[in-house]
A and B are shown apart, each in its own frame.
Chain A
Amino acid sequence: MTRRQLIPIAALLLAACALPLVVSDYRVFQFNLVLVYAIALLGLNLLTGYNGQISLGHGAFYAIGAYCAAILMDKYGVPYWATLPVAGAVCLLAGFLFGLPALRLEGLYLALATFALGVSLPALLKYHHLERWTGGVQGIVIAKPDPPFGLPINADQWLYYFTLAVAIVMFLLAWNLLRGRVGRALVAIRDNHIATEAMGVNIAIYKSLAFGVSAMYTGVAGALGAIAIQYVAPDSFNIFLSLVFLIGIVIGGLASISGAIYGALFIQFVPNVADEISKAAPWAIFGIFLIGFVYLMPMGIAGAVRMAVAWLQRKAQNSRRPT
């Protein structure tokens, strides 16, 4: 990365760290959720944006991660931080196992298969034979973790910093993955899988792994989300959640790491804004926002930012050139 690119990122990190110290607890809680969604969206973007495999069911992996955390914390007394690797591992496996048969499916058919996954998972969570573990329709209530070592911050702030740390690690991992050979292979598969296969890339492994890693990210996000909300219930993870994730990556910017952050900010705050504008039909306002964003920024916010930066750079170059 050039120094030029590092400066805004450093600034962002600084702002993110300073945030809990200047805003109210409620806002800290909201931004905590933004971080959670950013990780989830990064996962989905890996699969759909970079690798071209559409998923309308990522809410299912988010739910699996959330329930992993909840069950481990509630029934087995596992500390909250230890639930993250477990949630990640379970979802990595689940994603991979789903990705294997999904290899045969493309486009619409894959959309249906993932849609089916997203619709079926709440039903499974409510299934009365599994009630003993999942808590059935009642859900599971979990306790909020306290700051360790008696740090002079409150629980909300601690959870935010914890989530921020996890987010930074996961974003770095993704960035590293995507700029290397794996990233190139994923994008090549998306753009022209026949040519890619002809070049000797093992499509099956990459595509299934993409599913697995993508599910892992979203699963870890789910676990963090469950810890923040302190409650999981089957109907929180309905198909609409999967659609909201899709909206997040499209509005944020497909095939873009920063897009995950923009998308997370969008899906967290814009529904609230819509609710303020109209009590009568809040989702109609949200829908109008969606259409507006797609119309004005078809490549997502990240795309628009890129274009704006490029335009500014060109202007700067032009003004430096002698006429």
Chain B
Amino acid sequence: MDALLHQVLAGLATGGIYASLALALVMIYQATHLVNFAQGELAMFATYFAWSLINAGVPYWPAFFLTVIFAFVLGVVIERVIIRPVENAPVLAVVVVFIALLVILNSVTGWIYSYTIKTFPSPFPAEPIFGKYMSAHEAGAIGVTLVVLLLLFAFFRFTPLGLAMRAAAQNPDSARLVGIRVGWMLALGWGLAAAIGGVAGMMVAPIVYLDPNMMGGVLLYAFAAALVGGIDNPGGAVLGGFMVGVLENVLGAFVIGNELKLAVALVLIIGVLVVKPSGFFGKVFVTRV
């Protein structure tokens, strides 16, 4: 029983990692109706920026906020400079551009910073909280993710800007007709997603160590988490993240062994999606002919 509890706690900790990146994926989807494969690498790149600042002597919280701003600006710039010119290309062509961004960011980071792992500091104390199986940082990271979630939820639900962004993504032509600057909504969406990703990276790095391939494995889990919770539902994505984390750990420890746990977890998730195509908490869209 103890062993199960420990695995669940460890699963919640890794689930927090997936949830934080899943939020960024939901953000970008809400703003653009596309899933950005480069989201993980953007987050990783922003985290390296933070590391450079901290290494140069900047204290943690100023570095944190500077990085969030840097990530935001980077997201906006990427949207305006790289994505905008190809916005009329077929969707798959845009996906290829995302893949290109992924490899560029990964390769450039490795070139600038080398591949040796680096430690990244945590703003939380070092003593564990829930017994020894979840560190204060892991708990704190989950807390940060929940705060970001609330902010995101409030933004989309209660602010005019959030509404405008959702409108721009869902129906760009009608949105233009009511005066929404669709282009800037997209850029804003990218900026916010990159900023959320940056926060995710800075929360994840102390747990998994900072290296250019840090987010590679996380992306798939985050993608699955976002979908299983409903790609348009930030709360669902976070819940999805925790579910995926716990599921993966429990499967690996008690059911199928570590070799196949990823495959089985994914099969289960896809099973859910086959039965409930919009995920647990997503909205069902009825297409009119």
Contact = CB atoms under 8 A, between A and B. Distances in A.
B262 to A, nearest CB: 6
Contacts of A3: none
Given A128-B259, A283-B107, A299-B90, A119 B99 contact: no
B34 to A, nearest CB: 9
Given A246-B92, A294-B89, A120 B104 contact: no
B35 A120 contact: no
B243 to A, nearest CB: 15
B270 interface: yes
Contacts of A299: 89-90
Contacts of A290: 96-97, 99-100, 103
Interface string A238-264: 010001001101110010000000000
Contact of B260 (A127, A283, A298): A127
Contacts of B106: 283
B85 A287 contact: no
B260 A280 contact: no
A119 B95 contact: no
Given A247-B96, A294-B96, A298-B90, A112 B111 contact: no
B42 to A, nearest CB: 13
B159 interface: no
A104 interface: yes
A229 interface: no
A284 interface: yes
Given A105-B274, A109-B277, A298-B89, A194 B107 contact: no
Interface in B76-106: 82, 85-86, 88-90, 92-97, 99-104, 106
B259 A288 contact: no
Identify whether the interface residues of B are mostly helix, strand, loop, or mixed: helix
A298 B267 contact: no
A250 B103 contact: no
B99 A247 contact: yes
B223 interface: yes
B2 to A, nearest CB: 28
A128 B258 CA distance: 11
B220 interface: yes
A105 B273 contact: yes
Nearest to B106: A283
A300 B93 CA distance: 9
Contacts of B86: 291, 294-295, 298
Contacts of B111: 280-281, 284
Interface string A198-224: 000000000000000000000000000
A116 interface: yes
Contacts of A48: 92
Given A254-B92, A298-B86, A298-B88, A288 B223 contact: no
A113 interface: yes
Given A290-B96, A298-B90, A109 B227 contact: yes
Given A109-B273, A116-B224, A124-B263, A288 B92 contact: no
A283 B104 contact: yes
B97 A294 contact: yes
Contacts of B267: 116, 120
A298 B95 CA distance: 12
A104 B103 contact: no
B287 interface: yes
A52 to B, nearest CB: 10
23 contacts: A101-B270, A105-B273, A105-B274, A105-B277, A108-B35, A109-B227, A112-B223, A115-B223, A116-B269, A116-B270, A127-B259, A194-B287, A254-B92, A281-B108, A284-B107, A287-B100, A287-B102, A287-B104, A290-B99, A294-B86, A294-B96, A294-B100, A298-B90
Given A119-B220, A246-B96, A298-B93, 12 more contacts: A101-B270, A105-B274, A113-B273, A123-B262, A194-B289, A246-B92, A254-B90, A284-B104, A287-B99, A287-B104, A287-B107, A291-B86
Interface of B: 35, 82, 85-86, 88-90, 92-97, 99-104, 106-108, 110-111, 220, 223-224, 227, 231, 259-260, 262-263, 266-267, 269-270, 273-274, 277, 287, 289
